[in-house]
Amino acid sequence: MFRILCLALALSSCISDHQEDTLDIPLSPSREDLPKSTASQLVAVSKEDLNPEKVMAWQHFFKPDPDQRKRQQITKKISNSEKKPDLKLDEVLELARNQKSIGQLVKAETRYREVLRRHPEHLDALIELAQIYLLRSQVEKSFDYIVAAKRILADQEKPKKIDLFKYKYTLSLGLLQSHRKDEGHRILSELISDDPKFTHAYIALAGSYLEDHKLDMTEFIAKRGLDHLEDQPELLNILGIVASQRGQYRKAQSYYNQALEKSPHLVSALVNRANLSINKGQYKSAEIDLRNAIKHNPYHTNAYISQGILFKKMGRYTSAKVSLQTALDQNPENAFARYNLAVLMVDKFDDKNTALRLFYEVLQSNEQTAEIKELAKVQIQGLRDSRLSMESKNM
């Protein structure tokens, strides 16, 4: 789901409308099943009341994506921290968080691991590292850290409310990505009940239903969120996706415009509006939106995928290849980037060997997206038939 989020951790992500030789970028990709026994044990967390008056402000831990000015400040802080020879534990954690906030996930992973080497039971590092693996579609790895966090909380006589809040939210995302959606939905609903203004829970919940093409439920949840969070841009963005999937393109454009009026740096809305422009053949407008999206967040995988699709339609094939390869470099598990790059290689570069390798890699991807894998199988069979035909003619 965009995909949940591209966050319910980042927390909304983008979705593109269906196009020739391209695929929708769902709000939350399907993931491998988590064993039921593991899921059940994880859900059985403390049932202490999470009354918002008793909970530390979640906004301190769940911050929106930084705008351009804030991103520059964070980048400067990262640069200064990286120059220091011996960072204290808290400084390493701050560096990891800063890197995570601007999408430097590989670097952030290294720093979180450093925190855990020094302090193996550092609860924040465990939960936040699990979130990084969820962002990178590495669900199995994420649950290693979610389980570790759960054990620490279970051993505490009275866990902090905010720690339970963060743990439950991260667990819910893992369950959604592991096809344990009922449990994930229940936890998110509990968090909304505890704090009706917890933005990210609405985004994750709506995104999950959107992934299953349950548009009425998606719309209901997003609008319920807007009742508590007036003009919340991520929820307006989701309503734009719903309208687009219903073929209500003017309405979708209006929602994206509203979202961007409230948050001009909201990358998911920029990408979604660009996808709408691509479908209408308004390539210049799409290019501007995607350029701005990448400027605001150079690590937004879906922005590069959409840019690759756009460049292909514009006949800029080398640029399209670069954009799609960048998306893959950022997220090697992204089956959509891999599939679109494979199609480009066979259609425009006549590189059937590379295309075949990429299509096979789509089949091996951890992203359990049936549609993309079926299309990859069709492409593989087509390339095989073509090769057999050529060999037959040469005999």
The reported pLDDT for the residue numbered 59 is 54
In this prediction, residue 14 carries a pLDDT of 35
So what's the pLDDT on residue 366?
Answer: 72
pLDDT score recorded for residue 61: 61
Residue 370 has what pLDDT? 81
Q: Which two tokens stand for residue 287?
A: 């290019």
The maximal CA–CA distance of the chain, rounded, in angstroms, is: 79
Predicted pLDDT at 200:
92
Residue 190 burial class via C-beta count within 10 angstroms: exposed 0-12, middle 13-18, buried 19 and up: middle
Q: Between the CA atoms of 110, 111, 112 and 115, what dihedral angle is there, to the nearest 10 degrees?
A: 120
Q: Which residues have a Cβ under 8 Å from the Cβ of 111 and sit 6 or more positions away?
A: 92, 93, 95, 96, 99
Residue 54 is predicted with a pLDDT of 36
Question: Which contacts of 151-160 are long-range, i.e. CB under 8 A and separated by 24 or more positions?
Answer: 152/121, 152/123, 152/126, 153/45, 153/46, 153/123, 154/45, 154/46, 159/46, 159/48, 160/56
What are the φ and ψ backbone dihedral angles of 275, each rounded to 5 degrees? Answer: -60, -40
Would you state the pLDDT for residue 391? 63
pLDDT the model gives residue 31: 31
Domain boundaries in the chain?
A: 31-178
CATH T-level fold of 31-178? 1.25.40
- pLDDT of 376 reads 94
pLDDT value for 62: 66
- How confident is the prediction along the chain (395 residues), in pLDDT tens digits per residue? 434 334 344 332 333 333 333 333 223 323 333 333 334 445 444 434 334 333 335 455 666 778 778 889 999 999 999 999 999 999 999 999 999 999 899 999 999 999 999 999 999 999 999 999 998 888 999 999 999 999 999 999 999 989 999 999 999 999 999 989 999 999 999 999 999 999 999 999 999 999 999 999 999 999 999 999 988 999 999 999 999 999 999 999 999 999 999 999 899 999 999 999 999 999 999 999 999 999 998 989 999 999 999 999 999 999 999 999 999 998 888 999 999 999 999 999 999 999 999 999 999 887 657 889 999 999 999 998 887 766 666 66
Count of Cβ atoms closer than 10 Å to residue 193 Cβ: 12
What DSSP element (H or E) covers 265? Answer: none
